[in-house]
Amino acid sequence: MLGFYTIEVSKEASENAINTIPSFLTKIDRIKESDAVKTRNFGLTVMSGFKINRRNFMSMFIGTDGSKFHGEKMLHLINGVKMDMAVINEVVKKGDTEIWRITNGAHTTHPFHIHDIQFQILDREQGDGSDATPPSENERGWKDTVLLLPEETVRVIAKFDHYADTQYPYMYHCHILEHEDEGMMGQFLVVEPKDYDRVISDIDNHKRIPLQSFCKVS
């Protein structure tokens, strides 16, 4: 037998009851574009690999970075490469404010998510060459994900003032599970300014070995 329990809450109106909608819920200070010390560009693309075995429908494909995989999968890429757990794609100095310019060159929509930070949307630009437009009212708050329509470019700005670590990276990726599984993901480090040059040098010299081998703090 299925039963339902109900409760009744009864209370007289308070003299201090709030019965009007406030003019704003919270005050959000906009990050100045002039505060940014660097702009990074990210291009989202989708492609099929090159079939090299015509006899087998479920054949091997070669990605743009030379990697090989089997099956009739699509490649979802950021800046022309797919996710590699042994590669750090970006390194940011702790305390820096940056603009990330993300362009969706695909014919599908991608929700782009950045770990570690919350950002503000600066503007959107359509692929038809029209002028960039500021974000709509619902996009003027703090965000950790931004939706990119096909052939659209979005600029976001953030201050990377959170925890810094030279060993364990953060990620940025499309938030559609199939897309990130098929490669649309990258990794970034946030490091103390004093460690920046050393970390960059280590990454340049050892791009494809396990992270712990080159990112430990000396």
pLDDT tens for residues 75-134? 899 999 999 988 899 999 999 999 999 999 988 999 999 999 999 999 999 987 678 999
In the predicted structure, residue 145 carries a pLDDT above the cut 50: yes
CB 110 within 8 A of CB 148: yes
**Cα–Cα distance measured from residue 6 to residue 112, given in angstroms and rounded to the nearest whole number:** 43
Per-residue confidence (pLDDT) for residue 49, from 0 to 100: 54
- What pLDDT, in 10s, does the model give residues 23-51? 887 889 999 999 999 999 999 999 865 54
Alpha carbon distance 212, 215 (integer Å)? 5
> Predicted confidence band at 210 (pLDDT cuts at 50, 70, 90)?
very low
CA 159 to mean position of chain CA atoms = 14
150 has pLDDT over 50: yes
Report d(CA 196, CA 201) in Å as an integer: 9
CA dist 129 and 132 (Å) reads 9
Ranges of each domain in the chain: 33-42+79-214
CA distance 181 to 132: 31
Q: Which fold has domain 33-42+79-214?
A: Immunoglobulin-like (2.60.40)
Higher pLDDT, 176 or 13: 176
Choose among 172, 194, 191: nearest CA to 183: 172
- What's the confidence (pLDDT) of residue 56? 41
Tokens of 150: 């096909």
Single-letter residue type at 86: A
